[in-house]
Chains A and B, each alone.
Chain A
Amino acid sequence: MLSNSFSIEEKSIVEADICIVGAGCAGITLATELNHSTLKVILLESGSLEYDDKTQSLYEGENISINPFKLENTRLRYFGGSTNHWGGMCHPLDETDFLAREDIPYPGWPIRLNDLIPYYHRAQSICQLGPFVYDDENYWRQQINFSPLPISGNLLETAFFQYSPPTRFGEVYLEALKKSTNVDVILNANVLELETSNDANNITQVRVANLNGKIFFVKAKKFVLSAGGLETPRLLLLSNKVQKNGLGNQYDLLGRYYMDHLSAWGGSLQFITDQSNFPWYFKIRNIVKNLGNMEVGALLTPTADLMKKEGLTNFRILLLPTEEERGIDSAKLITHELTSGHIPDNFGGHLKNVLSELDSVANVAYKSLFHTNNDLFEIHKKNDSTAITKVNLDLNLEQLPNRESRVSLSTDRDIFDQNRIKLDWRTSEADNKTARRALEIFAMECGKYNLGRVYIPDTINEQNIAFGISSHHMGATRMASSASEGVVDENCRVHGIGNLFIASSSVFPTAGWANPTLTITALSVRLADHLKSIFS
């Protein structure tokens, strides 16, 4: 069922078994998994089915971080949440990501990769991916005739990622939820506060408002916060009538350990050997026809031994095509999507790639049309028979959990007179070390095996590297087995509160290198099963 807060009576109370706050990847997955059950579920979404500026402005906040990006630009506040603009790159966390690590002074996850594997399998289809096969080189050799980069494998290894279309959760799962008889999606419903019992051991109801100023309440037996990695801790901090520091904050952990994947343009690799032997590493999208046109790519990550030996966090190095190759890939993508009846995501960006490399694109088209190997246009870069191909290095690394990196409340207020968010995102020397070593090690491997030479930009050697953001908001309600080490337990229940759960990347105690959406989805499926088992 789909309804709107504007049609709900002022100060009325809506009742349910489970109330889910936030309809992004996690909230929609939960609601979809609970669909057709005997449970009455309410899914509250701040926005409507379309983007609007006024609702989006609720995401504005104060950013005092080293990188003062605009908080409202990194997430979307309408049905489907940030899946309305995600890129679709998927990979599960590595086994080592879950473990306590000697050089990382914080506990690992209270669960292990094996605990999540069954849910990753189910998350694959939710994210419209292929089979749950990632880093099995033999499998990809058979499927796509994969050839690995000629490096040793002792320090760096190949990981394979899959591209979701990307799934727009708000579009793909809307119809099923509209038809649902037990799930009610309420749009334009902004949760302002979680109200608790006098001892704060339970949530009694949530106070909800719409932009017209109407207030209503939702009472439920269980509540799930799935409002994203920034808004979820904000709601807990705002709910401070009984627990003055916010809910789940007995040990001053709420909002702390905020992490993002640290982005660094790590220079470039100039090939000496023929790069055409291993194209899977630097094509934008490799379409695998015999696997239902699924899209995969390959990148490099550190081995567990290297991370342990050098005390490094996890990272990945993606080899991105130069502008010339991007133009050709973009042309292919546009053609593929348009012939499939879709307008490609980031159409403008792809068009720009094509236009900036018209000669190269025209040559590919010409060769394809006339089955010739002769170029239509002479491209000066290719005149020399010994021309070397260059790829750019996109380095993205796991941030070491940092207690001083935190989300808190600003004194600024939004249109509901609620404190806006304040972000103080901080990196550490350990992050700088990982970034530098990642590139050095890669450069050394390229030299050892005569692959090419690596250019490392000066910015990587600055005292404090100006990392870019990946908009993966993680860690501010971290998972740990005890309340003294985290905000939620292994079942994503807030420590000390019997009926409050969190489904979000904010529960990640460590981030690994993988983009978070697949893991958020898997955790949400797991939470849905847990909730069903509680009620049964």
Chain B
Amino acid sequence: MQTRRQFLFTLIAGLFVSGTEASLKSFQPSDYVDISNKLSSLVTNKNSALFIGKAYQSLPPQKTTDIPQEIFSLLQRINLTQKEFIKLEKPLVLQKIKNAIEQDFHTGNVELVNGWLLSKTEVKLCHVLSLIWAT
């Protein structure tokens, strides 16, 4: 059972990745592994991320389960390319994510997930992770 506290840990621990002009087709298997590993390393509470990600997945309308597509979408939100994301140091990635989350709240890019009003960036992060960990 997920507690609210655990749930929030994920959000605070904050998140991840990147890309602007990268295309899905440019995804190489090695990039995918690197990105997935780095994304996972950014989150301190796996259960919370899974909880949010799965909850989001179950909400209408139907969500894609295409991991590369979701990673690409996430990287776009934080304005990083795949390579930038891989190269960038963890604190800088976290700062990028934090900025994107705050911007979401300023612009109304929010999502209600199981009662929690969350930024679309943090929801997307959890969704990506839940998909990655499910494979």
- B residues less than 8 Å from A457 (CB atoms): 115
B32 within 8 A of A: no
Q: How far is the CA of A443 from the CA of B115 in the complex (A)?
A: 11
A288 within 8 A of B: no
Binary CB contact string for chain B from 93 to 135 against chain A (1 if under 8 A, 0 otherwise): 0000010011011101010100111110000000000000000
Q: How far is the CA of A268 from the CA of B8 in the complex (A)?
A: 12
Instruction: Given the known inter-chain contacts A268-B4, A272-B12, A388-B12, please indicate yes or no for A448 contacting B105, CB distance below 8 A.
Output: yes
Q: Is the CB of A267 within 8 A of B115?
A: yes
A447 within 8 A of B: yes
B11 within 8 A of A: yes
Q: Which single member of A381, A447, A452, A458 contacts B102 (CB below 8 Å)? A: A447
CB of B22, distance to nearest CB on chain A (Å) = 28
Q: Is the CB of B8 within 8 A of A453?
A: yes
**CB nearest neighbor in A for B5:** A388
Q: Which single member of A272, A450, A456 contacts B8 (CB below 8 Å)? A: A272
CB of A315, distance to nearest CB on chain B (Å) = 17
Q: Is the CB of B110 within 8 A of A444?
A: yes
- A residues less than 8 Å from B119 (CB atoms): 447
Q: Which single member of B4, B104, B117 contacts A443 (CB below 8 Å)? A: B117
Q: Which single member of B101, B105, B116 contacts A455 (CB below 8 Å)? A: B116
- A residues less than 8 Å from B110 (CB atoms): 443-444, 447
Instruction: Given the known inter-chain contacts A444-B108, A447-B104, please indicate yes or no for A387 contacting B5, CB distance below 8 A.
Output: yes
A454 within 8 A of B: yes
State which residues 380-399 of A face B: CB under 8 Å. 381, 386-388, 390
A440 within 8 A of B: yes
- A residues less than 8 Å from B108 (CB atoms): 444
Q: How far is the CA of A99 from the CA of B77 in the complex (A)?
A: 44
Q: How far is the CA of A456 from the CA of B110 in the complex (A)?
A: 13
A410 within 8 A of B: no
Q: Is the CB of B12 within 8 A of A455?
A: no
Q: Is the CB of A453 within 8 A of B5?
A: no
- A residues less than 8 Å from B101 (CB atoms): 447
- B residues less than 8 Å from A272 (CB atoms): 8, 11-12
- A residues less than 8 Å from B4 (CB atoms): 268, 270, 390, 455
Q: Is the CB of B116 within 8 A of A447?
A: no
State which residues 1-59 of B face A: CB under 8 Å. 4-5, 7-9, 11-12
**CB nearest neighbor in A for B13:** A386
Q: Is the CB of B116 within 8 A of A453?
A: yes
State which residues 504-522 of A face B: CB under 8 Å. none
**CB nearest neighbor in B for A440:** B117
Q: How far is the CA of A388 from the CA of B117 in the complex (A)?
A: 17
Q: Is the CB of B117 within 8 A of A456?
A: yes
Q: How far is the CA of A270 from the CA of B8 in the complex (A)?
A: 7
Interface residues of chain A, those whose CB is within 8 Å of chain B, are 267-268, 270, 272, 381, 386-388, 390, 440, 443-444, 447-448, 450, 452-458
Closest 10 pairs between A and B when the two form their complex, measured CB to CB:
A447-B105, A443-B117, A448-B105, A270-B8, A455-B115, A272-B12, A444-B105, A454-B117, A455-B116, A448-B106
Interface residues of chain B, those whose CB is within 8 Å of chain A, are 4-5, 7-9, 11-12, 98, 101-102, 104-106, 108, 110, 112, 115-119
